[in-house]
Structure 1
Amino acid sequence: MAASNVILGTRAEGTAKELIAKGEAALLAQKWQEAVDAFEAVLAGDAEAANNPGLLYDLAVAYEGLGDREKARARFREIVRRFPNDPNARNALAREVSLDAYLEDWAALGEAGEMILARPNLEPADRMLGLGARGLSRVQAKDENGGSHDIQDGLDLVDEYRYGATGQLPVAAAMLKYAHGELRKLRSEKISLDPPGTDFVLKLEARCAGLLDAQNAYADAIRSIDPLWAAMSGYRVGEMYRQLHQELMRLPAPVTAKTESDKQLFYAIMHVRYRALLDKGIEMMKRTLGLGERTGAASAWMARAKEAKDEMENALEDEKAQLAKLPYTEAEVEKALDILKKKAQDQQARAAAKTK
């Protein structure tokens, strides 16, 4: 009789009780594959195991540890769908939120947020998590007003309960800070610089102010206890600098630049003036990669940061090579920049004097 209770899996064997114990021990030791093998063997060999939400939760955690986030998310969702009143459902929803964000499945993130907010007797942390999930999903869908409302409600709770005020941010607070950065990024990048008109300087100042506002929000999210939000935030800041640099470099020469020499000078001035944006973007990607090395954070986001850093470094080298071919030294370009700045300051002074 005892032999009939032995489960013979492809990678693990034993009674259901033995396999569960083996899986739990492997989970504690972070031996993710051993845990998956044991739990999957139980599910395959014991029909009742599928009705154990704790076992399903442990299996999901093991899959997440392995880096198989799709399978982990599927198991977390199964718990929420089949056992909504089980204590594991609350934690499963919280884990799904992070996985939805990692996978950039913004629609699923919004649905998870709605499910959290619909649960009875919400703790403040759960409400923050639900508002952050729904708010971030709405921002990604370009629903600026809806996203702003959710994010602000969530941030008010963060302030009220002083979440992360003295150290690392819990996931719910970090997601809200990240979502706030995404909202500010969306608003900043709505300010188009092309075509450059007489209000170009004002638009550029507004765009840069928006970038810095977003950077401040992302900087808060970098303090997250979960490295995922720190990795995503660091990458986003570097990406914003790269995006602004690319937009500026695509601007056409002004109509006053009639000769080829004038156009070359414009090209040189633009690249020298705004090269610092590339430098800042590269520095942010380096910091993000450093974070990944220290924490083992979010490998997919690290790969993005590495790719973006390499692209920006190549762009910087290409700019230097192109500038070297022009009939101007960098010193001459800097001098031309100083002249243009002086003219702009004089114009502002005259305009200010007229208004007095």
Structure 2
Amino acid sequence: RFRDAPLRMPEERLEQDLERKAGYLLEAQSAYLRAIRQGDPEWAARAGWRIAGMYMKLREHMLRAPVPEDLSSEEKKVYLDMLRQRTAVLLRKALKMLEQTISFAERTGLEPEWLDTARKQLELVEKELMRLEEESSSTNPVDDSS
């Protein structure tokens, strides 16, 4: 349900769709957390990886959602820049889950087929967060004059 839930305009519908999609994410996350608590290392690691994937997918869906039509091209650019910054929290959640999952898999000696993918995803998330950090600091420079 999470992956198939659309994000549509107008804005009121977009808000409802986003709430529904976030609710599906939380439901799925609860199920994955129950799997983690079952104690099976393979299931626990896979569940952690899937949770990280949902955070990344939610951000991707939000970034691809329709942009309000009444914005000028400059306003659309600002809107998308702000959206990228505001959705960075989802990347940070994915980063934390990927780090924990990879660390757990390595500590327990697991080498599932998806572990290399998780490592590559971790690298991509780290790069995107660094890029967003640089972008944010270049648009909001710190005033050292005080």
The verdict on a shared fold, with TM-score over 0.5 as the criterion, is yes
Structure 2 counterpart of 1:200, one-letter code: L
Contiguous gaps of at least 5 residues in structure 2:
none
Choose which of 253, 273, 297 in structure 1 pairs with 2:67: 253
Residue 97 of structure 2 is matched in structure 1 by: 284
Alpha-carbon RMSD across the aligned residues, in angstroms, is 2.1
Within 5 Å, which residues of 2 pair with 1:1-356? 187-193=1-7, 195-197=8-10, 198-260=12-74, 262-324=75-137, 328-329=139-140
Considering Cα pairs closer than 8 Å and 6+ residues apart, tell me whether 1 or 2 has the greater RCO: 2
Number of residue-to-residue matches in the alignment:
141
Q: Once the two structures are aligned, what percentage of the paired residues are identical?
A: 30
| Structure 1 position 298, deviation (Å) | 3.3
Task: Tell whether the 8 Å contact from 1:188 to 1:211 is kept in structure 2 after alignment.
Answer: yes
Secondary structure of the residue aligned to 2:37 is: coil
Structure 2 counterpart of 1:215, one-letter code: Q
TM-score (norm 2): 0.84
Structure 2 counterpart of 1:285, one-letter code: L
Assess, with a 3 A threshold, how the Cα gap between structure 1 residues 316 and 208 changes in structure 2: closer, same or farther. same
Largest Rg, 1 or 2? 1
Assess, with a 3 A threshold, how the Cα gap between structure 1 residues 283 and 330 changes in structure 2: closer, same or farther. farther
Structure 2 counterpart of 1:253, one-letter code: V
CA distance in 2, matches of 1:191, 1:248: 11
CA distance in 1, matches of 2:72, 2:132: 23
Task: Tell whether the 8 Å contact from 1:231 to 1:298 is kept in structure 2 after alignment.
Answer: no
Contiguous gaps of at least 5 residues in structure 1:
1-186, 332-356
Assess, with a 3 A threshold, how the Cα gap between structure 1 residues 330 and 240 changes in structure 2: closer, same or farther. farther
CA distance in 1, matches of 2:54, 2:40: 22
Assess, with a 3 A threshold, how the Cα gap between structure 1 residues 227 and 243 changes in structure 2: closer, same or farther. same
CA distance in 2, matches of 1:190, 1:238: 17
| Structure 1 position 317, deviation (Å) | 1.9
CA distance in 1, matches of 2:64, 2:132: 13
